[in-house]
Amino acid sequence: MRRGAGDSPPYSAGMRTLLPLLGAAVLLGSCAPLLSTAAQLAQQGPSSPSAGPLEIGQTWAITGLVNAENVAFDAPVTQLVGEPRQAATLAARDETAAFAAGRAGTNVVKYDATGVPTLKFVWVGRTVERRPYVYTCTITDPLSQPYQGTLTLDRGEPTPLRGSCTAQLKR
């Protein structure tokens, strides 16, 4: 049986009412994951921005030995500038100005996962004869804590001094 131009479709009037409702139900169902995530954020609050093992609000205890000197420093993660695979606690401009001034206690924490994942803690320990003593604890295997790495002391001389360091999350 062939339908003519004026014939009605082969389904009933009840089906014509039900089809738009079914379409709306499918669309609402696709929003469920988004609504669930929104409800979870409202309940728990937003998560802290992070980059690799770094998360805003952390404090890391750095200890080491270089040039027969025991070194200890607490490095807070107060902010993260950059991307999750490459971030630091200071912007490059701020870091350059702070280290150039040689202010003791100035520090930056960096994470770079664009190649071999590397975590660096850099700080000015003190200034001697107008030269800052800049310490760098470099971790190239941030898998299990305490992290073990190389401690470098740059006193403005041609060759920096090297030792070892440990980084442990204090919180």
Rounded Cα distance between 141 and 168, Å, is: 13
pLDDT tens digit string along 21-65?
445 444 444 444 434 433 433 443 344 578 889 999 999 999 999
Same domain, 35 and 74: no
What confidence tens digit (pLDDT) does each residue in 150-162 have? Answer: 999 998 889 999 9
SS3 sequence of the chain: CCCCCCCCCCCCHHHHHHHHHHHHHHHHHHCHHHHHHHHHHHHHCCCCCEECCEECCCEEEEEEEECCEEEEEEEECCCCEEECCEEECCCHHHHHHHHHHCCCCCEEEEEECCCCCEEEEEEEEEEECCEEEEEEEEECCCCCCCEEEEEEEECCCCCCEEEEEEEEECC
What span, in angstroms and rounded, lies between the C-alpha atoms of 74 and 58?
10
Same domain, 81 and 135: yes
Query: Residues 104, 36: one domain?
Result: no
Residue span of the structural domain in which 6 resides: 1-46
**pTM value > 0.75:** no
Domain end position, chosen among 28, 46, 64:
46
Q: Are residues 37 and 55 in the same domain?
A: no
Q: How many domains does the chain have?
A: 2
Query: Considering the chain, what percentage of its residues have pLDDT values greater than 70?
Result: 71
113 touches 52 (CB < 8 A): yes
Q: Are residues 15 and 58 in the same domain?
A: no
Verify that 91 and 15 share a domain, yes or no: no
Task: Give the torsion through C-alpha atoms of 107, 109, 112, 113, to 10 deg.
Answer: 170
- Residue-level pLDDT at 151: 97
Closest CA to 125 of 146, 95, 145, 152: 152
- The alpha carbon dihedral of 24, 26, 29, 30 has a sign of negative
